[in-house]
């Protein structure tokens, strides 16, 4: 089954404690992306990757890092999380037909 | 930069009636337009897209959208709403690798 998986699904952490949200896709897509979803703001793109070792900033990259060492994985790293990064995060994998496949989401709370 | 607006936070319709969820966009070049649906506690699911060609685009679950270049709109429509269509709907526009989503419209279909 074609899918995008994210882990963890829920995470409560404290300010400044580094964390990583993993994302993996099994569709051999080259293009992947990270979004955050906040009420009233829709989804905003954090980072995207066009292929292995190729990443670029989206609309709201501050406070985030990504890596793309292999095609299937695209982890999101928060080096020093802050309360304003409390949000719902989605990873997406994009097909050659320009259709995005979203993961189930990671709800992050930073206290 | 491109942008997309969904002027209605909430749309309520009765089951069996036609539904319309509105979307307007702004891009500097040719628009790549999308509709996604989000059910509770789930990631977004692709519904349909407009890249080029016919102005009326058909998608999943009986939905369709009409691209109107003069009005810069891409409204989502369905001839007969179902209770199961109740969800959060997002319009999105892509320009190069930059993807922008609207704030979302919550559709409620009442029996």
CB contact under 8 A, A100 and B101: no
- A38 touches B: beta carbon within 8 Å: no
How many residue pairs bridge chain A and chain B with CB atoms within 8 Å of each other? 53
pLDDT at A30 over 90: yes
- Model pLDDT, residue B95: 84
- Model pLDDT, residue A5: 96
- Model pLDDT, residue B47: 96
Answer whether A38's CB lies under 8 Å from A44's CB: yes
Closest CA to B92 of B42, B16, B47, B36: B36
Average predicted confidence (pLDDT) for chain A: 95
Answer whether A81's CB lies under 8 Å from A16's CB: yes
Mutation choice for A interface testing from B44, B89, B103 by most A CBs within 10 A: B44
Quote the percentage of chain A above a pLDDT of 90.
91
Answer whether B57's CB lies under 8 Å from B67's CB: yes
- Model pLDDT, residue A69: 97
How confident is the model over B9-36, as pLDDT tens digits? 999 999 999 999 999 999 888 889 999 9
How confident is the model over A36-80, as pLDDT tens digits? 999 888 899 999 999 999 999 999 999 999 999 999 999 999 999
- Model pLDDT, residue A28: 95
CB contact under 8 A, A43 and B45: no
- Residues A90 and A35: their CA atoms lie apart, in Å, by 5
How confident is the model over B59-103, as pLDDT tens digits? 999 999 999 999 999 999 999 999 999 999 999 999 887 889 999
- Model pLDDT, residue B63: 97
- Residues B106 and B92: their CA atoms lie apart, in Å, by 15
> Which residue pairs from B41-49 have beta carbons closer than 8 angstroms and sit at least 24 positions apart in sequence?
B41/A105, B42/A104, B42/A105, B43/A4, B43/A90, B43/A102, B43/A103, B43/A104, B43/A105, B44/A43, B44/A90, B44/A92, B44/A100, B44/A102, B44/B90, B45/A102, B46/A99, B46/A100, B46/A101, B47/B76, B47/B89, B48/B76, B49/A98, B49/A99
pLDDT-derived band at A15, boundaries 50, 70, 90: very high
How, if at all, do strands B3-5 and B24-26 pair? antiparallel
- Residues B9 and B21: their CA atoms lie apart, in Å, by 10
Range B40-64 average pLDDT: 91
Closest CA to A32 of A53, A21, A47: A47
CB contact under 8 A, B101 and A43: yes
In chain B, where do the E strands start and end? 3-5, 10-14, 19-21, 24-26, 32-38, 44-50, 56-58, 64-68, 73-78, 87-95, 98-101, 105-110
- Model pLDDT, residue B2: 81
């Amino acid at each position: 089954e074609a899918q995008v998986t994210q882990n963890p699904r829920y995470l409560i952490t404290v300010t400044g404690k580094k964390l990583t949200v993993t994302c993996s896709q099994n569709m051999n897509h080259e293009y992947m992306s990270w979004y955050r979803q906040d009420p009233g703001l829709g989804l905003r793109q954090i980072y995207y990757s066009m292929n292995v070792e190729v990443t670029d900033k989206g609309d709201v990259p501050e406070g985030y890092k990504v890596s793309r060492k292999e095609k299937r994985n695209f982890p999101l790293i928060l080096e020093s999380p802050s309360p304003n990064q409390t949000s719902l995060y989605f990873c997406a994998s994009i097909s050659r037909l320009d259709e995005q496949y979203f993961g189930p989401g990671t709800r992050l709370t930073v206290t | 930069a491109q942008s997309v607006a969904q002027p209605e936070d909430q749309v309520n319709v009765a089951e069996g009636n036609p539904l319309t969820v509105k979307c307007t966009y702004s891009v500097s070049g040719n628009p790549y337009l999308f509709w996604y649906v989000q059910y509770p506690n789930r990631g977004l699911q692709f519904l349909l897209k407009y890249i080029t060609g016919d102005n009326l685009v058909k998608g999943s679950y009986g939905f369709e959208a009409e691209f109107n270049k003069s009005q810069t709109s891409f409204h989502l429509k369905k001839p007969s709403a179902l209770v199961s269509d109740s969800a959060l709907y997002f319009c999105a526009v892509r320009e190069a690798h930059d993807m922008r989503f609207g704030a979302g419209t919550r559709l409620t279909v009442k029996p």
